[in-house]
Structure 1
Amino acid sequence: MNASSAVIVIPARLSSTRLPRKMLLAETGRPLIAHTWEAARRSLSASAVVVATDSDEIAAAVQAFGGTAVMTSPEAPSGTARIVEALHRLPTADVIVNVQGDEPELAAAAIDAAIDLLARCPEAGVATLVTPLRRPDDLRDPACVKAVLTPWRQTDGRAEPGCWQAIYFSRAPVPAARDWSDSLLAAEPPLYWQHVGLYAYRRSVLERWNSLPDSRLAALESLEQLRVIEAGIRIVAGAIDHAARGIDTPKDYAAFVARRRRNSAGHPTDG
C-alpha cells in the first residue's frame, strides 16, 4: 500500500465520563492528544494524520503542536461516525485508519500492519488487529472484547498466511467450549483472541457507512463492528503481540505519566 493512499484520523471528543477532559490532560508537559498524534506520525505507511474533534479547545491544542484538526459535531455517536462526518475534508486516500485518541502508546508498526492487511486481502473492506487472549479473567471480562476468527481465504480458496477473517465479536466468552480446560487458552495457533480497537477502512466503506443496514447484534453487544459483518463486508484481522494500554481512568493516566517520566529519565518503561 503506497503511503499516499492511507491517512490516519484520530477522533477526539472533549467529553469523557470516567476521565473528564482527558485529551487535554498535560501532566507530561504535553496534552494526551499530542502523544497519540506523535505515535501515529511514526507510521511508515500513512501520509497524513488528522484529528477529528468536537472541541475548539482540542482543535487549538492540536494546532499549537503543529497538527491538523477538523471540526465535527458533538452529537457524533462514535469515533467512526465522527470520521464519516469529516470524510469530505480529509486528504484524498484509499484507506482511512481510525486511531483512538486515548492510545498514546500505540505502536506505529500496528498501524502499518492494519494498512498492509488491506493490501494483502483485496476482498476485505475493513482491517483490524487482535492479540492472543491467555488469561481466564480476561475471557470472562465483558470489557475485553473477544474476536472469533477463521483463516482468511482468498477468492481462489488459498489461505493467506498471517491473516484471519473475523466471524464475530462479542463481550461474552466465545468461542464456547463444551468441555472447558484452561489449557485451551494456551493453544497454538490461539483459539481465543482479544480485539484491539484499531481499524483501517477502505474509503468506499466509509462513503456508504450511513446507508449500511442497522444491526440488532451491534446494538445488543454495543459493538459497531458487528454492523459491518451483518452488512456483508469482510473484516480481515492480523495478530500483534499485545494491545496498547488505553487511557480510560485517572489510574490509567497516572500510570502513563509515570512510564513517560521513567522513559525521559533514561529508564525502560514496563510497556
Structure 2
Amino acid sequence: MSKCKILCVIPARLESSRLPRKMLADLQGKPLLQRTYESAKAVPLFDDVVVAVDCRELYDKVIAFGGRPLLTSATCASGTERLIELHGSKTLQADIWVNWQGDEPFINKEAIGELLQSCDNPEEEIWTLKRLIEKPEEIASPDVVKVVCDQKGNALYFSRSPIPHLLREAKVYKHVGLYGYSSSALEKIGSLTPTEIEKAESLEQLRFLYHGLSIRVHETSQNVLGVDTEEELLLAKGLYFS
C-alpha cells in the first residue's frame, strides 16, 4: 500500500430508533462511542481519527474523553452524508476516507487492512467487506444485509432478502458495513440523487451502484458485532469480559 493520507471518520448521532441514545450506552465503564473511538485510534494505517456528531451533547462527550469531534448537520440521513458534508466543507483533507460507524467497537486493524488492501488500484474508488454467513437464520433475516459480487469482486447487488435465491446449495455472504472512499468518490456521491431500489431496500449503497459506481468487496473472516439493540449491547458487554 503506497503512502497516502487515510482519514477515519466515525459518524455518530444521538438518537436511534432501535436503541435510543446508544452512543452514550455504558460498555464496561465507558460510553460505546468512546470504545469505538479507542479501537479506531489503535489502527496504525490511520493518519487521523475524527468523530462526526449531530449535536452538542455528543460533541461535549467526545471532548471529555479526549477525541476530536466535528459538528455536522442533524438532518444527515446516514454516516456517508456526514462524510460528504465534511468533505465538501474542506475542513479536512485526505486521499482515503474510512466510514467507521460509531456503534461498531469491535472492528480492528486486521479488518481495516483487508478493507484497504487494493486502495492503490486507480480503477477502484469505494471499498467494503463481506463475510461468509454460517448461521442459517441470518440468511432469512432482513437485519442482515447480503451481497453478491462479480468475478472481480465488485458488488452486483445488496439486499435484505436472501441472495442468491437458494434453489440449490450456495455460499451466502453478509455485508460488513465498513466503507472506504476515495476523495473523488465522495465528490461524485454528493451529487447523486436517491433511487427507488435504495428506498425499497433502505440501503444507500444501492444508489452508488444504480448510478454506475463500482464497489470493491473484499472478504473478511472478522466477525464484527454492531450494537443496534439491547441484546447486542449485552453481547458486547460479555465480549469485554471474555
* Distance change in 2, residues 1:12/1:26 (3 Å): same
1:171-182 maps to which residues of 2 (within 5 A)? 171-177=160-166, 179-181=167-169
Determine if the alignment matches structure 1 residue 200 to structure 2 residue 180: yes
How far apart, CA to CA, are the structure 2 residues paired with 1:238 and 1:15?
A: 31
63-72 or 107-116: bigger deviation: 107-116
Q: Who is 2:158 aligned against?
A: 169
6-15 or 247-256: bigger deviation: 247-256
How far apart, CA to CA, are the structure 2 residues paired with 1:3 and 1:103?
A: 26
CA contact (8 A) 1:6 1:115 kept: no
1:210 Cα deviation after fit: 2.6
Determine if the alignment matches structure 1 residue 250 to structure 2 residue 230: yes
Q: Who is 1:25 aligned against?
A: 25
SS at match of 1:117: coil
* Distance change in 2, residues 1:167/1:31 (3 Å): same
Report the AA paired with residue 86 of structure 1. Answer: L
Give structure 1 stretches of 5+ with no counterpart.
Answer: 153-163, 185-190, 263-268
Q: Who is 1:126 aligned against?
A: 126
CA contact (8 A) 2:4 2:96 kept: no
Q: Who is 1:228 aligned against?
A: 208
SS at match of 2:151: strand
Question: Cα deviations across residues 103-130 of structure 1 (Å, max 9, x unaligned)?
Answer: 01111221222122322x3212200000
Residues matched between the structures, number:
241
Q: Who is 1:265 aligned against?
A: none
CA contact (8 A) 1:2 1:45 kept: no
1:74-93 maps to which residues of 2 (within 5 A)? 74-87=74-87, 88-93=89-94
Root mean square deviation of aligned Cα: 1.6
1:59 Cα deviation after fit: 1.1
Report the AA paired with residue 124 of structure 1. Answer: E
Q: Who is 1:239 aligned against?
A: 219
Q: Who is 1:114 aligned against?
A: 115
Determine if the alignment matches structure 1 residue 62 to structure 2 residue 58: no
Give structure 2 stretches of 5+ with no counterpart.
Answer: none
% of aligned pairs identical? Answer: 37
How far apart, CA to CA, are the structure 2 residues paired with 1:4 and 1:29?
A: 36
Report the AA paired with residue 102 of structure 2. Answer: G
How far apart, CA to CA, are the structure 2 residues paired with 1:32 and 1:214?
A: 31
Report the AA paired with residue 233 of structure 1. Answer: L
Structure 1: 4+ residue segments shifted above 4 A: none
105-114 or 197-206: bigger deviation: 105-114
Q: Who is 2:150 aligned against?
A: 150
SS at match of 1:10: strand
1:74 Cα deviation after fit: 1.0
Report the AA paired with residue 151 of structure 1. Answer: Q
Q: Who is 1:44 aligned against?
A: 44
CA contact (8 A) 1:4 1:46 kept: no
SS at match of 2:86: helix
How far apart, CA to CA, are the structure 2 residues paired with 1:26 and 1:137?
A: 29
Determine if the alignment matches structure 1 residue 105 to structure 2 residue 106: yes
